[in-house]
Amino acid sequence: MANEPYSEVTNQSWGGRLMESIKGVVAGGALFIAAFPVLWMNEGCSVDTAKGLEEGAKVAISIDLSKYSNENNGKLIHGSGMATTTDTVADSQFGINLKAIKLERNVEMFQNEENVKEETSEKLGGGKETKKTYTYGTTWSSSLINSNNFKDPNAPKNPSTMPYESENWGASDVKVGDYKISSSLINQISANESIDYKSAGISIPSSISSRAKISNTEIYLGKDPSNPQIGDIRISHKVANPKEVSILGQLSGGVVGAFKTSRDTTIERLDEGTLSKEDMFAAAQKENAIMTWAVRVGGFFMMYMGLSLILKPISTLGAVVPFLGNLLGMGLGLIAGLVSFVLTIITIALAWVFFRPLLGIALLAVAGGVGFFLWKKKQEMDAKAPTTPSTSAAG
């Protein structure tokens, strides 16, 4: 049963807020400065990866993986086939021993969790009152929630340990067709098939089965799965059985591994299913584009957060009058956002001039042309704007 909400109220003076915001300027400056190399290097990495993939697409050859041949040794090869292994993977605690590529044990425990809601109010004179309300509920979690850190000393407690942990095991010798693949390629195979304990004929040790409720795909340690109690455990296993995959990599001594491009990037890719060489390279290019945009957005927010911290003392100075402080905060937030956006675009554009000269210069020219057009339009509008006639005194 959940406890009553627990509240904690703290007050901070205007002077304390000002000192805190001044200290934040240092962190803000570091964050702001760090955003520039992050954005710059991201463009460089993006270009290198894209060019490396283009290079790979030109030299890669598709081969029949079902028949071993060393004639393509040292080349970037593509092929599809069944990923198989003679290795066994085992979870000895639960009596599982299978010939498979991967085995995963997933463990969750029913536990208490703490949720917090924060409300802040500005006070006349620049002070700030913060009210935190803590509520407690329950959840299934794969990691231990330390209830000793709960704010309410009377909050419900969790067990101090989990009897079992999530683990995974993998085969070290995996082949696709007649060719071994590297550990990096093996790691790209997902264990996504649930083990059916009953149909697989798995014999769970009596030390566990005697106190467990075992369904087809779950081992439940507790009284009633439909009414879980704190400390109840549910366990499931997933496996990667032999499956059809497609690979890209360099063939070296019968093993397919990483191919190094002239851009100092590597190509070592595995996709599940039968994919053509063209589809695999297209997917890799798409992933590179997504990652590039993710870092661009991250760099913008680094810059925005840094500028916001740098400007924070100004809004804190105006917080003596709550309305003025809020107004300043909104205005400064808008300024930080606009400046960060412009600087992000400029940094990316300059990086393109360095890493992609033709495209970068063309984009800067277009941006300059648009800017000049808007400036000219503004000049024309100002010239056409009616002027207020001056009045002279009647005499």
For residues 301 and 211, membership in a common domain is answered with no
Element (H, E) at 259: strand 259-260
Global pTM reads 0.81
For residues 88 and 182, membership in a common domain is answered with yes
Query: Regarding predicted confidence, which is higher, 195 or 15?
Result: 195
Residue 140: C-alpha distances to residues 107, 155, 181 (Å): 10, 18, 37
For residues 84 and 215, membership in a common domain is answered with yes
What domain range is 367 assigned to? 12-50+290-380
Q: Which of 9-18, 216-225, 346-355 has the highest mean pLDDT?
A: 216-225
CA nearest 278: which of 9, 61, 116, 32?
61
For residues 239 and 315, membership in a common domain is answered with no
- Chain centre to alpha carbon of residue 219: 31
For residues 100 and 24, membership in a common domain is answered with no
Which pLDDT score is estimated for 391? 46
The answer to the question of residue 260 being in a domain is yes
3-state secondary structure of 249: strand
Which pLDDT score is estimated for 303? 96
97 pLDDT more than 70: yes
* Residue 312 CB-density burial (10 A; 0-12 exposed, 13-18 middle, 19+ buried): buried
Query: Regarding predicted confidence, which is higher, 97 or 371?
Result: 97
The answer to the question of residue 130 being in a domain is no
The answer to the question of residue 132 being in a domain is no
Contact in structure between 85 and 175 (CB atoms under 8 Å) = yes
- Indicate the number of domains in the chain: 2
Sorted by sequence, the CB contacts under 8 Å of residue 11 that are 6+ apart come out as: 123, 127, 128, 129, 130
The answer to the question of residue 57 being in a domain is no
- Chain centre to alpha carbon of residue 327: 34
Q: How are beta strands 193-194 and 96-98 bridged, if at all?
A: unpaired
Q: Tens of pLDDT along 234-281?
A: 999 999 999 999 999 999 989 999 999 999 999 999 999 999 999 999
The answer to the question of residue 365 being in a domain is yes
For residues 83 and 153, membership in a common domain is answered with yes
For residues 251 and 361, membership in a common domain is answered with no
Angstrom distance (rounded) from CA 52 to CA 264: 8
The answer to the question of residue 118 being in a domain is no
The terminus-to-terminus CA distance of the chain in angstroms comes to 91
Residue 5: C-alpha distances to residues 111, 133, 141, 155 (Å): 18, 6, 22, 10
Mean pLDDT of the chain: 88
The answer to the question of residue 206 being in a domain is yes
For residues 216 and 257, membership in a common domain is answered with yes
Q: Answer with the one of 274, 306, 326 that is the final residue of a domain.
A: 274
DSSP assignment, residue 60? Answer: -
Q: Answer with the one of 242, 274, 306 that is the final residue of a domain.
A: 274
Q: Tens of pLDDT along 62-93?
A: 999 999 988 999 999 999 999 999 999 999 99
For residues 203 and 249, membership in a common domain is answered with yes
Q: Which two tokens stand for residue 231?
A: 């400390």
Q: Answer with the one of 212, 247, 274 that is the final residue of a domain.
A: 274
The answer to the question of residue 185 being in a domain is yes
DSSP assignment, residue 147? Answer: G
Angstrom distance (rounded) from CA 289 to CA 45: 11
For residues 94 and 199, membership in a common domain is answered with yes
Angstrom distance (rounded) from CA 394 to CA 118: 67
Angstrom distance (rounded) from CA 138 to CA 156: 10
CA nearest 49: which of 280, 251, 287?
287
Sorted by sequence, the CB contacts under 8 Å of residue 345 that are 6+ apart come out as: 367
Angstrom distance (rounded) from CA 230 to CA 138: 8
For residues 22 and 80, membership in a common domain is answered with no
Q: Residue 174: which pLDDT band, with cuts at 50, 70 and 90?
A: very high
For residues 201 and 333, membership in a common domain is answered with no
